[in-house]
Amino acid sequence: MGHELLPSKMNGTDFDTLNQQGDYSLNRYSRSKLANILFTKALARQRAKERVYVNVAHPGLVTTEIGRSSKDMMGTVGDKTGQLLNAVMAYSTEEGALTQLYLATSLEIENRDVRGRYFIPIANEIQTSAYARDEESQDKLWTFSEKLVREKVKA
């Protein structure tokens, strides 16, 4: 999944190190997935009175080239394990896109007023972690993001 992999002591977004360079660990990956959900839920709440439907799509394990440098990160054994998992369990790139396509094109999303929800393959809605549902954390990330954009864009 992603955000659910955070150990309980790290269950959250440490805003002091959120934009830190160089740490490409599983915890960092999981924190980025949590941030995607927090940000999406904040945006969905902000646009609740508009015809804007924002949801999170987790594509699942998809056969891509994203792990091509996994030997550098996990060594040869980790790389071989990743290749085996890819061969046995991964979705094709076409299948991996189906949840995103559903969320972007299905009339059901608008008709059922589906906003700020979390979907896994293939177009299945599931509940996020409790931390991802925390509106205070969602708002904190939104404010952090606005500040970062102003700094980088000088707006």
Q: Band the pLDDT of 77: cuts 50, 70, 90.
A: low
This prediction's pTM = 0.78
Residue type, 37: I
Q: Both 107 and 54 in a single domain?
A: yes
Say how many domains are in the chain.
Answer: 2
- Which residues does residue 120 pair with via DSSP β-bridges, in sequence order? 124
Read off the pLDDT band of 30 (50, 70, 90): confident
Mean local confidence (pLDDT), 73-80 = 56
Kindly state whether residues 68 and 129 are assigned to the same domain. no
Told to judge if 24 belongs to the known catalytic residues of this protein, a careful annotator would answer no
Same domain, 77 and 27: no
CA distance 4 to 14: 16
pLDDT in tens, 3-13: 665 544 444 55
Given a cut of 60, whether residue 28 has pLDDT beyond it is yes
> Which domain range does residue 111 map to?
3-59+97-153
Burial letters 3-20, b for 16+ CB under 10 A, else e: beebeeeebbbeeeeeee
Number of residues in the chain: 155
Residue with tokens 């904190």: 140
Q: One of 24, 29, 102, 118 is an active-site residue; which one? A: 29
Average pLDDT rounded to a whole number, residues 72-83: 58
